[in-house]
Amino acid sequence: MTTARADLFERLAPVWCLDEVGEDLDPFAVFGRTAPLVLDIGIGFGDSLTTAAAADPDVDLIGADVHTPGIASTLARIETMGLTNLRLLHGDALVFLARLAPGMLAGIRIYFPDPWPKVRHRHRRITSAANVDRFVSILRPGGRLHVATDIAEYATATHSICDAHPNLEGGVVERPDWRPVTRYELKGITAGRTAIDLIYRKI
């Protein structure tokens, strides 16, 4: 990061970032209101997250990423766009899940997760059966798990895992026009890939 970006990070992270570990999250204390709460895991540079937050002021969002320059870019945009319904987690979303009460979330979004294409690395994928089960427990009934990927095999694997979960129903949907195009998605489009959106509802 440039010095200016590092200074910005130091100034804004304490204001907008949540702790990765700690007490159970109290969304009212964080956002000052009661509203549907959505977790976006792996926000990259946060372009699509900040666009979504601005488009949906009645929803509160938490965007998570381990990548410091991406969090810094997102913090800059939160400030310039004057967003109040967005907080960030600079850390591992899977660790942060321990702060979320069962049934707390209206949605979990995972847009273009790291593909881990090699067979021996696939156990690292964020949509493993064990992780999906944790996501389901934190979703409220009717809450939605939305995964988008442009790797057909990743979509098929996630589809099988979600289909096998007794508390999920859904599958592949047409690309929702409300989902902003992400930076990673754009690279895929340029390379000739097409996004596949999977939306599952907790039953």
User: Active-site residue numbers?
Assistant: 114
* Interface pick for ligand SAM out of 19, 114, 153, 163 (rule CB under 6 A): 114
Q: Please report, for residues 11, 111, 170, the alpha-carbon distance to residue 17 in angstroms, rounded to integers and kept in the order given.
A: 11, 20, 32
Cα gap 104→118, rounded to integer Å: 34
Q: Which of these segments, 26-34, 75-83, 162-170, 178-186, binds ligand SAM (CB under 6 A)?
A: 178-186
If one asks whether residue 184 binds ligand SAM (CB under 6 A), the answer comes out as: yes
If one asks whether residue 94 binds ligand SAM (CB under 6 A), the answer comes out as: yes
* Interface pick for ligand SAM out of 182, 195, 198, 202 (rule CB under 6 A): 182
Only one residue has tokens 């990743």, namely 154
If one asks whether residue 168 binds ligand SAM (CB under 6 A), the answer comes out as: no
* Interface pick for ligand SAM out of 70, 77, 105, 138 (rule CB under 6 A): 70
If one asks whether residue 62 binds ligand SAM (CB under 6 A), the answer comes out as: no
Q: 71-85: b or e for each residue (b if 16 or more CB lie within 10 Å)?
A: bbbbbbbbeeeebeb
Q: Which residues contact 87 (CB under 8 A, 6 or more apart)?
A: 16, 17, 18, 30, 31, 60, 61, 62, 63
Q: Which of these segments, 28-36, 58-66, 136-144, 159-167, binds ligand SAM (CB under 6 A)?
A: 58-66
Q: Do the Cβ atoms of 75 and 9 come closer than 8 Å? A: yes
If one asks whether residue 65 binds ligand SAM (CB under 6 A), the answer comes out as: yes
If one asks whether residue 19 binds ligand SAM (CB under 6 A), the answer comes out as: no
Give the total of residues touching ligand SAM (CB under 6 A).
21
Q: How many CB atoms lie within 10 A of CB 40?
A: 26
| Tokens found for residue 89 | 């987690």
Query: Which residues here bind ligand SAM, judged by CB under 6 A?
Result: 41-44, 64-67, 70, 92-94, 111-114, 126, 182-185
